[in-house]
Structure 1
Amino acid sequence: MRYLEVTVPEGNRRAVLDILEDEGIDYVVGDETSDRAYDAVVRFPVPTRAVEPILDRLKRAGIGDESTVVVIDAETVVSERFATLREQYRTGGQTGSRTSRQVLRTKADELTPPVPVYATMLLISAVVATAGLLADSPAVVIGAMVIAPLLGPALAANVGIVTGDDRLRRTGFRYQLTGVTLVIVASIGLATLARFAGLEPAGVDIVVATELQERVAPNVFSLAVALGAGIAGILSLTRGFSEAIVGVMIAAALIPPAAAVGITVAWGMYGAALGAAILVVVNVLSINLAALGTLWIAGYRPQGLFEVSPTRRPTAVYATIFAVGLLVLAAPLAGVTVLEFQTTQLESAAESEAEAVLADPAYDDRTLEDVAVELDDDYPIQSVDRVVVTVAGPDAEPEPGLADDLAAAIEPPGEERLPIEVQYVVSERRGLENP
């Protein structure tokens, strides 16, 4: 339930009261005694679902942006007329218990913190995320997501689009761009210090050794996190779910990939940095597209027939930009997904062929330990580099003819045959031999 207080401009008192009477609303009218051009102050309780349609009717009656409208949460209302009104909006044409458009703008604005606070929290988040990635610590990376204030900007931009609030839209997009840039720059600085301070061992592939692998070579399933975050963010704003939990989800789609860009740039791995940057941009587009679509489907837009059309055009323009950009940039992600599928197939086929070769009586003392398909370092779109077959036996000496037999048996897809590398390990003794 909500309690509204509305200042009525001169000449609009009768029109406003007629609307409230028509809706069956109990109200209290007080004369406005200031020197401003107001005639009265009207106060009345309404069900939550009724806030938006009633304010829309009042706006058409002359309650414009120059008037003051205060919406307050009400604990309870004891009134027969209010009970009838609540039942009317419960069973009438209203769908769902959503937040009114007017309150939605306020909530989106409130979730966007002041610039100093926003920058400080993002710097802390960037430092924690970079440290977590370098230390290969999922728990630390999750901690970075919890403190990142990215929910407000992501939602504010799209609330501004569908409701025609240009200030809110510009603020949301500006905060998103500034936030991601700030995380990348801070990560570059911290990762550079870590590299030259020798905090990471030399000669080690930083991508393989840390949590960076999935961020520098992302697949299409990475989109699920960002799309889900955009939808959940809007639902949290409009349906009263926990914004804190959804904020972590949005941060999960943006903070680690942005930190990965900084780390790989500091290590001079520009191909890997490109892969992480693509993931960042794709996730930003996905979050905004999902949020924008969810808002429009939920019916959030300016009131009145004459305001829907002008707002529908910019909404369609932004949705098209998000969708086209997403399709173009998702191509590398699709390539990575196809490669992963092919790699899995190749690994399975190579394992079967290797088992068949080692089943030969000539290799009775050898058993298959592992088959791995290794990729090259050409990020973000890698290719298969070689197949490594690990064989266990009584000693680590190469078995004559085994490498040739394995190379002949394993036929990877493609015109060129891939190198087959055989590694020998000593098998563990499982008991004493009989004398």
Structure 2
Amino acid sequence: MLHVRVITPADRTDEVLRIVLECPGAAHAVRFPGAACSPPGDVVEFSLAREAANAVLDELRALGLKDSGAITVEQIDLSISTAAEKAEEAAPGDPEDAVVWEELAARVTTDTRLSWSYLAFLALATQIAAIGVLADQPILIVGAMVLGPEFGPVAAFCFGILRRQPRLLGTAVRTLVVGFAAAIAVTAACAGVSRLLGWITPDMLDDRPMTEFIVHPDRWSFIVALLAGIAGILSLTAGKSSALVGVFISVTTVPAAGNIAVALPLAHWHEVGASLVQLGVNLAGMVIAGVLTLLLQRLLWARFGLRITSAPRPRGAEPPITAG
């Protein structure tokens, strides 16, 4: 269940309550007349099943509350209520399968920002991957995969395509390009210094059977990227962070960047090209799968949303409580 708090001008409060009371997936409606100070107005709070969230939030946005008030949504960890149980039963589908598009939009927008923490994590992941390549240690490659934050911009790119938002697309591309370029540059510089100190030599890239897959992209690389893209989007929409870790381990984006970073100062030019192909194959596979997954989810939940908004409220549902 979700907890929704709405700040609304007094002349729109009745309309807000109508939207809430007509939704069978809503419960525990409470009205606080004149409780809001900034912006001024009434406050309406209610519990909402995730499956019904898109329909209700769309109607609330249509009232212009983004500009004249506010809509806040939080996850409810525990709700002991028969009314809440009935609301979840009345909403079609399963809560874990429901995609709250506003929630997803906020998350991908946050994850695609080109922040110092994003650059730091990607640079650290790339350096760990580079060490794993030089030492031929798969465990370091896996650690670098888990640490890499690159799926955030990939998911934002998929969402930008679905919603036709050029600005989000541009931000996602910039974050990916600048992030990988900076991470490779920092790691290549460190590798160059290490070569001058005699810590690494070109022959370290000649025989490494455990990590050689990084420079040999094939059809399986693309298939894994497709599967990882589907799993990544599903983990975001379902709020399954543990599943997202598995996505990071599946794709060879950060290891490819790490391989490029060490191949440059060690003059293994053929591996630079092969790693770039590996990086491109993985990104392309995740984008294709991510867009198709989001499109299918939107088609399915658009149909559910129409059923929710047109359905009558269950008989015996509790009226809203007015506080104040």
- The bucket for the TM-score relative to the shorter chain is 0.7 to 0.9
1:281 aligns with 280
1:57 aligns with 59
Q: Mapping of 1:39-54 within 5 angstroms?
A: 39-54=41-56
Q: Report the Cα distance in structure 2 between the residues aligned to 1:239 and 1:254, rounded to whole angstroms.
A: 24
8 Å contact 2:5–2:45 — kept in the other structure?
Answer: yes
| Larger Rg belongs to | 1
Over 3 Å counting, the alpha-carbon distance change for 1:275 and 1:89 in structure 2 is same
Q: Mapping of 1:17-32 within 5 angstroms?
A: 17-24=17-24, 25=26, 26-32=28-34
TM-score, normalization by structure 1: 0.61
2:73 aligns with 71
| Residue 21 (structure 1) shift | 2.5
8 Å contact 2:184–2:260 — kept in the other structure?
Answer: yes
Residue 105 (1) aligns with residue 105 (2): yes
More helix by share: 2
Moved more, 53-62 or 1-10: 53-62
Q: Report the Cα distance in structure 2 between the residues aligned to 1:301 and 1:165, rounded to whole angstroms.
A: 21
Which residue identity is paired with 2:215? V
Q: Report the Cα distance in structure 1 between the residues aligned to 2:136 and 2:204, rounded to whole angstroms.
A: 13
1:317 aligns with none
SS at match of 2:97: coil
1:197 aligns with 197
Q: Report the Cα distance in structure 1 between the residues aligned to 2:260 and 2:298, rounded to whole angstroms.
A: 37
SS at match of 1:149: coil
Q: C-alpha deviations, 1:259-279, integer Å up to 9, x for none?
A: 112222222232331121122
Give ranges in structure 2 of 5+ residues lacking alignment. Answer: 304-324
SS at match of 1:44: strand
Q: C-alpha deviations, 1:46-72, integer Å up to 9, x for none?
A: 112111111122233443455311112
2:309 aligns with none
8 Å contact 2:231–2:247 — kept in the other structure?
Answer: no
8 Å contact 1:164–1:302 — kept in the other structure?
Answer: no
Over 3 Å counting, the alpha-carbon distance change for 1:143 and 1:83 in structure 2 is closer
TM-score, normalization by structure 2: 0.79
Q: Mapping of 1:75-224 within 5 angstroms?
A: 75-80=78-83, 82-90=84-92, 97-112=97-112, 115-163=115-163, 168-200=168-200, 204=203, 206-209=205-208, 213-224=212-223
Q: Report the Cα distance in structure 2 between the residues aligned to 1:301 and 1:281, rounded to whole angstroms.
A: 30
Q: Mapping of 1:218-297 within 5 angstroms?
A: 218-241=217-240, 242-249=242-249, 252-297=251-296
> Percent identity of the aligned residues?
24
RMSD: 3.1
Q: Report the Cα distance in structure 1 between the residues aligned to 2:5 and 2:238, rounded to whole angstroms.
A: 23
| Residue 167 (structure 1) shift | 5.2
Q: How many residues were matched structurally?
A: 299
Structure showing greater relative contact order (alpha-carbon pairs closer than 8 Å, 6 or more residues apart): 2
Give ranges in structure 1 of 5+ residues lacking alignment. Answer: 305-435
Q: C-alpha deviations, 1:360-379, integer Å up to 9, x for none?
A: xxxxxxxxxxxxxxxxxxxx
SS at match of 1:27: strand
Q: C-alpha deviations, 1:346-370, integer Å up to 9, x for none?
A: xxxxxxxxxxxxxxxxxxxxxxxxx
| Residue 101 (structure 1) shift | 0.8
Q: Report the Cα distance in structure 1 between the residues aligned to 2:67 and 2:297, rounded to whole angstroms.
A: 24
Q: Report the Cα distance in structure 1 between the residues aligned to 2:39 and 2:131, rounded to whole angstroms.
A: 59
| Residue 298 (structure 1) shift | 0.8
1:299 aligns with 298
8 Å contact 2:215–2:274 — kept in the other structure?
Answer: yes
8 Å contact 2:108–2:155 — kept in the other structure?
Answer: yes
Q: Report the Cα distance in structure 1 between the residues aligned to 2:12 and 2:229, rounded to whole angstroms.
A: 41
Which residue identity is paired with 2:225? A
Moved more, 125-134 or 168-177: 168-177
